[in-house]
Structures are given as C-alpha cells and as structure tokens.
Amino acid sequence: MKICVYAISKNEEKFARRWYESMKEADEVYVLDTGSTDNTVSILEELGSHVKVEVVTPWRFDVARNKSLELVPEDCDICVCTDLDEVLVPGWREKLEKAWTPGTTRCQYTYYWSLDQDDQPIVSFFLNQAHCRHGYRWTHPVHEVLEYTLGDEVVVSCPDIILKHYPDATKSRSSYLPLLELSVREDPEDDRNMHYLGREYMYYEKWDKAIETLKKHLTLERAVWKDERAASMRFIGRCYKNLKQYDEARYWYDQAMKEAPYLRDAFVEKALLEYELDNYDKVEDLCFRALEIKSHEQTYINEPFSWDSTVYDLLSISAYHLGRIPQAIYFVDIALTYLPDDSRLLNNRRIFKELETEKEGS
C-alpha cells in the first residue's frame, strides 16, 4: 500500500522535527504551510517533507485541510491527517496495513488528547482521520470534520495505533469563537457546532450567551448523542454556578445525570459545587455515586477531573469536616497515589494524622 501523511502548519518549528520523525513510516509526507515566519518550512523540507506555502484568506480550517489533502498524489491508498503537535507511536504503519481490509474507506485509532507528566493518558478517545484518497472532504470552518461523499463508509478499528497530542499552551484560540459563529450561521441545524459554540461562550465567561446557545443545542433534531447532550447540560449548570444561581445549577447537573447516568462527569461537577457551598454530606454522596461508575467511555466528552485524584480529594476533605478522620486519611492516601508530591495533599494528610493521634491519646 502507498500511505501518505498530510498536515497543515504555521510556526511549528519546535514541533516539526519530532512530528516528522513519528510520521516517516509513511511513504510520503505532505504539508501545507499557511504562512510561517519561523523555520518550520526549512526544517520540514530538510527532513524530506513535501511543503507548499499558501496563505488561506479568510482563514478556515476546512479550506486549509482540503488544500493540504490536494497535495497528496491520486495513487495514494491511505491518507493520514495529523497536526504538528501530535506524535504517532512507532509501528503504526504495520498496524494500519493489517487493519485495512479490502473495501475499507476509513480507520479509527486511539487518540491521547491529554497526557500527564508521566506521558500517561488523562483524556483519550477514538479518532478516525486515516482514510482512502478519494471521496473525502473537510467541512466546517473550525472543529472541522471529514465527510464521505461516495456512499456508505466502511470503517475499521485499530485501537493499537496510538496518536499522542502535545498541545502548545502558548498558542491563541482567539480565532475559534468567530469561526464557530460563522459555522453555526452556515448550518444552524448542526448540533455539533452549536454545542461547541455554547462551550466556547462558556470559556469566554459569556455565561448568558452560553446558556442560550447550549439550550438551543438541546432542542435541535440532530442533537441525539446522549454524551454530548449531557455535556451541554453540565455546561449550562456550570454557567449558572458562575452566576451564583445555585438551584438552577443543581437542576442542570441533575438533568445531565439522568441523560447519561453512565458518565461520572455530572456527579463530580455537582460535587464540586456542593463542596464550594460546604455541603459535605452531599459531596460525599455524589462522589460515592461517581465511583460506582467503573467504565471510562472513550469519548472527547470526558472531564479529567472525573478520573484523576479529584473524587478522592473531595472525599477526604468531606470526611474531615464530617468528623471521620480515619476515612479522611484513607481517601487522601488514594489521592496521593495520583499526585504523590502534591504539597496540599501532603499537608492535609499531616493534619489528619495529627488529629488521629490526638484523638487516640485523649
């Protein structure tokens, strides 16, 4: 098979070499550079990438992606789209070739969207940006998606292929909001981008606009994916929490729990609200209910705080305030298995142990 990687780039010199080294199992690597002012282009060309420079005006991610796909030769069998802040784990080509059965149009694989300091996944889900050369096009100005235009897709799964994401925290996302607004204007019935727009308003602390947009998402005919619906409900709750309308926040967290009772996120987020309001018995109940959920769904919806030390941290503090010191020690010790050097957790444990010693001596 002929396998090609394609990507877009702009001012990625600090990632370019690492990215290329993980992509070079492909036969060819193609990059559309959209106007770098650093050494991205020269580094990529030196390494062996085919690079074309073209500024996309007005900027749209889908246009740039389609232009980068156009660089890939017509006789390519499999195209793999990645970004320069991503790394494919070695051995990916052999796994992709084995998974790609006759008639396949697309392959999904594992994406580590967020990693901890030990390079272990915090948030992971399936991504499906390996596809056949013909019939695919990118749509939407931002949070762009691949659409197949030649009938029914045949999608295979290869979870052993792992793509890791190492985002550049210094890069601005200022273009996202206007592009999302444009995307919703272009297709006001698109549930995915309505959800993303509401979330973006929330990130910008535009609480009322976020609430209005997320509620609209819930009314759309295509808004049927329960995970995403529950996320919109949680975000509405989060907005009301920031507006200090706590009863409304509780209502929407409860709605999210009902919508997707198999996800921890609403239980933990409501527990965080009750913690801020010193309702420690409610915190405890919600955390225990969250821990009853053992399956970690592989979707982008998952919140890191639902699966890290947060639940055990909340349980330890709640137990302390409820006068159950041995339980506080038990849960802070579990929290410390996630963050063994965290000074606040260590200090909490010291306080709990001192209280336990005082109680034993009295």
CATH 3.90.550.10 positions along the chain are: 3-165
List, for residues 352-361, the tens digit of each pLDDT value: 999 999 888 7
CATH 1.25.40.10 positions along the chain are: 176-279
Q: Mean per-residue pLDDT for 84-111? A: 97
Q: Percentage of the chain with pLDDT > 90?
A: 92
Is the Cα dihedral 219, 221, 226, 228 positive or negative? Answer: negative
58 touches 182 (CB < 8 A): no
- pLDDT given for residue 122 in this prediction: 86
- For 206, 228, 241, 283, 305, the CA distances from 273, given in Å and listed in that order, are 19, 21, 7, 8, 13
Question: Average model confidence (pLDDT) for the chain?
Answer: 96
DSSP 75-105: T-SEEEE--TTEEEPTTHHHHHHHH--TT--
pTM of the model: 0.90
Angle at 251 between CA 213 and CA 322, to 5 degrees: 135
Strand pairing class (155-165; 145-148): unpaired
Write the CATH number of the domain with boundaries 3-165.
3.90.550.10
List, for residues 98-132, the tens digit of each pLDDT value: 999 999 999 999 999 999 888 998 889 999 999 99
Write the CATH number of the domain with boundaries 176-279.
1.25.40.10
